[in-house]
Amino acid sequence: MSVSTALPEWPPALTPEQHSRLILLSSTYALSHGFTLLPPSSRQPPTSAIPAPLSLLPTPFPRELYELAVSLQPIYNALYARITLDWDFLDRVMGGSVSKVDEFQGELWRGWKSIRDDLVQPLQLGLFRSDYLLHQDQSQGTSEKGDNIGIKQVEFNTIAASFGALSQRAGEMHRYLAKATNGYYSISPHLSEISNFPQNEPLKKLAAGLAEGWKAYGNEKAVVLFVVQDGERNVFDQKWLEYELLESHDIPVIRHTFSELSSLAQIEPSTKNLLLPSPLEPSLPSKEVAVIYYRSAYTPTDYPTSSEWDTRLLLEKSKAIKCPSMALQLAGAKKIQQVLCEPGVLEDFLLNKKRPDVGLENKITQEDVDRLRLTWIGLWPMDNSALGKEAYQLALNESERFVLKPQREGGGNNIYRENIPPYLKELEKEKREQGEPEKKEAFILMELIEPPKNVQNWLVKGGENKARKADVVSELGVYGVSLFGGSEIQTFNSTAGTLLRTKGRESDEGGVAIGISSIDSPLLVD
């Protein structure tokens, strides 16, 4: 699906005085509303914060495509829930060549396989985010209103889908600026209509999803455990979820790193309850954990030793509901995204009535499947199949059209355009054990999405008092919540708001904490 919406020339002109005033209003709003990050060299406990990287104005986004992305989220929730419950499929895809040449994914799959017959908690909780870029389809020419623009999915995140709280704050900030300055000083009719600023509450909805898991667990005295990274700079995004759980749902949160949990976490032998003693109050009974929410565990650096893997397996074997489980984390791999593009695979997961109901009461139609497929760009395996051989030739001879992606989360891992051929040649030089697949099979090849050009905005890097005008690319994330896998409770499936991250076009990679991307909000245009 594409639309002929012409994106307006952006940003509208500001006088120097208006510009300076917006810088002041946005930075003070950010600091006073917790739209913040810790500075790079923060002390513990922290004594200062900086505004999160932000955009001075919201960025135009076609209303019809925004609404399409939001409407697809329950279908995506159902899809990835069903993938997670299909162990044979996960074994075939992730237990094949990927597990043999990707050490991290292999450790994750083998660990899950070693304990899955002993799992005691059927319920699983997903806080998801499906990420999209606008795509300008040059092959269809242009319409009278403007260029043909669609949306294409970048990836689907099943673990540590962050920035929900800060995204809500960004939208609230832009609405405040519009109201406080008479529609941004009336510089554009788009900014004068408050209905063009969509209501967006991912903080509330993601916290409500965690609360659904806590309620399903069934112990009002239990807590939610956040598993976090050492030295986390994005702590306020997590803290807002903690505060929302406590203030709106009366659910306490405990935060621990893997290294702390290695000495604290205990499983009660008869009940399999996960128990955490308090290092500060050792005389009190241990706290029982209802939900384990991972804001860590998605990158190899989160497992520097075997102790972290042992802790992950221990947590997985407990009665606590995992967000995500190891199986759900595996389902979010890039290889799964690529295999879903193969003929019939998506239809089997979404239209096969024998699949478990995961919140849509098996009401997904062929039209839904077709709409979802329209958001996909070309994806190929890098194996020795016919498609894989085609991909290899494309990667060597038409590399400017593609990105090579490993099975990683967190950004900064992809190989782009002219860097692909020499990278593949280097992989071929690496030694392989006898019978081991080629190293390139750890990757997938993805056609590059081509965002519309000539869209600009003013970006403010965290901690700075000036804005940079840049040609920008904006990535829309749509959050979803899914509680599934149990036979005695009603499955929960819901959208949970959106995130817009905007970066300068000159950068292929993103990253809010390192200042490449800014947390933005969409300005809906028709």
Predicted confidence (pLDDT) at residue 142 exceeds the cutoff of 60: no
pLDDT value for 383 = 95
pLDDT of 175 reads: 98
pLDDT digits (tens, 9 = 90+) for 49-73: 999 999 999 999 999 999 999 999 9
pTM, to two decimals: 0.95
| Higher pLDDT, residue 454 or 404 | 404
Reduced to 3 states, what is the DSSP secondary structure of residue 468?
Answer: strand
Catalytic residue, candidates 157, 234, 273, 399: 157
Q: Are 290 and 322 in contact (CB under 8 A)?
A: no
pLDDT tens per residue, range 501-510: 999 998 766 6
Residue 376 makes CB contacts below 8 A (sequence gap 6+) with 152, 153, 341
Q: Which of 322, 334, 355, 461 is catalytic?
A: 334
User: Does pLDDT of 524 surpass 60?
Assistant: yes
On whether the CB atoms of residues 229 and 257 are closer than 8 A, the answer is yes
For residue 398, give both structure tokens. 């038409």
Q: Name the catalytic one among 501, 515, 517, 521.
A: 501
Average pLDDT, the chain: 93
Please identify which of the residues 2, 77, 126, 155 carries the catalytic annotation.
Answer: 155
Residue 455 and residue 409 in contact, taking contact as beta carbons nearer than 8 Å: no
Mean pLDDT score, 276-289: 94
Mean pLDDT for the stretch of residues 341-360: 92
Which residue is catalytic, options 162, 167, 325, 521?
A: 162
Average pLDDT over residues 274-298: 96
**482-to-88, 191, 294, 347, 477 alpha-carbon distances in Å:** 21, 35, 15, 20, 16
3-state secondary structure 119-184: CCCCCEEEEEEEEEEEEECHHHCECCCCECEEEEEEEEECCCCCCHHHHHHHHHHHHHHHHHCHHH
Let me know if 312 is a catalytic residue.
Answer: no
Structure tokens at 190: 């788009």
Integer-rounded Cα Rg, in Å, for the chain is 23
| Sheet bearing 402-405, strands edge to edge | 379-381, 444-447, 402-405, 415-416
pLDDT on residue 144: 39
Q: Give the residue carrying structure tokens 């991912």.
A: 202
Region for residue 124 given its phi and psi (left: phi exceeds 0; alpha: psi -120 to 50; beta: otherwise): beta
- Whether 412 is catalytic is no
Average pLDDT on 111-137 reads 96
Cβ contact 359:413 at 8 Å: no
The stretches of 194-317 forming alpha helices (DSSP H) are 202-217, 235-249, 258-264, 306-316
- Helices and strands in the chain, H and E counts: 18, 22
Q: What is the pLDDT of residue 31?
A: 97
Name the catalytic one among 96, 378, 410, 486: 410
Mean of the pLDDT values across residues 200-224? 98
Q: Cβ distance 296 to 259 under 8 Å? A: no
Q: Are the C-beta atoms of 521 and 171 separated by less than 8 Å?
A: yes
157 catalytic residue (yes or no): yes
Per-residue confidence band for 112, with pLDDT thresholds at 50, 70 and 90 = very high
Q: Going by DSSP bridges, is the β-strand pair 468-484/456-460 parallel, antiparallel, or unpaired? A: antiparallel
Residue 213's pLDDT band (boundaries 50, 70, 90)? Answer: very high
Q: What is the pLDDT of residues 455-495, one digit of tens each?
A: 999 999 988 889 999 999 999 999 999 999 987 666 899 99
Counting residues of the chain whose pLDDT is more than 90, the rounded percentage is: 85
248 belongs to the catalytic site: no
Q: Is 145 designated active site?
A: no
- Rounded to an integer, the average pLDDT of 224-250 is 97
Q: Contact 445/131 with Cβ under 8 angstroms?
A: no
Can 347 be counted among the known catalytic residues? no
Residues in the chain: 526
Catalytic residue among 63, 82, 129, 355: 129
What's the pLDDT at 409? 82
- Among 95-104, 400-409, 425-434, 443-452, whose mean pLDDT is lowest? 425-434
- pLDDT tens digits for 10-56? 999 999 999 999 999 999 999 999 999 999 887 788 899 999 999 99
179 is catalytic: no
The amino acid sitting at 140 is Q
* Strands (DSSP E) found in 230-377: 253-256, 266-267, 274-276, 287-294, 321-323
pLDDT at 361 over 90: no
Dihedral-angle region of residue 14 (phi above 0 means left; psi in -120 to 50 means alpha; beta otherwise): beta
> DSSP class of residue 63?
H
CATH class of 378-448: alpha beta
Check whether 249 has a pLDDT greater than 70.
yes
pLDDT at 515 over 60: no
Query: Which tens digits make up the pLDDT trace of 176-211?
Result: 999 999 999 999 999 999 999 999 999 999 999 999
**Single-letter residue type at 515:** G
CATH 3.30.1490.50, the chain: domain bounds: 378-448
Active-site annotation holds for 505: no
**pLDDT at 140 > cutoff 90:** no
Clarify whether 517 is annotated catalytic: no
CA distance 310 to 296: 15
